[in-house]
């Protein structure tokens, strides 16, 4: 029925095909599940311990000081997420 934008689908066993797909999927393998959990943990730790923006102010500051504080926070985040930091940890998790 091309006029209605419909096509005929050949007969197939959806339940069996879906079961085979799930069995062959990576998300049922222990090592993939463990790596995913560890990566999520590292991401949560990064979020809890770091912020790209410094929002903790204990005094009024000039705009130049504010910009310097924010730039320092951004540089700290770059270092934290760099190859020796967060990215390196994720790489080790994936390789393990």
Sign of CA pseudo-dihedral 93, 41, 44, 70: negative
Pair 24, 32: CB distance under 8 Å: no
Give CA–CA dist 66/14, Å, rounded.
60
pLDDT at 37: 94
Q: Where are the domains of the chain?
A: 30-96
pLDDT at 1: 56
Higher pLDDT, 54 or 1: 54
The answer to whether the pTM exceeds 0.75 is no
pLDDT at 25: 83
The stretches of 1-96 forming alpha helices (DSSP H) are: 14-24, 30-49, 63-80, 86-95
Collapsed DSSP state (helix, strand, coil) of residue 51: coil
């Amino acid at each position: 029925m091309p006029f209605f934008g419909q096509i005929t689908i050949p007969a197939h066993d959806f339940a069996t095909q879906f079961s085979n797909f799930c069995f062959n999927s990576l998300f049922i393998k222990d090592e993939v599940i463990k790596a995913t959990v560890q990566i999520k943990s590292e991401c949560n730790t990064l979020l809890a311990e770091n912020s790209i923006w410094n929002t903790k102010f204990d005094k009024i500051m000039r705009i130049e000081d504010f910009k310097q504080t924010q730039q320092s926070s951004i540089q700290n985040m770059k270092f934290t997420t760099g190859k020796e930091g967060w990215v390196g940890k994720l790489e080790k998790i994936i390789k393990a």
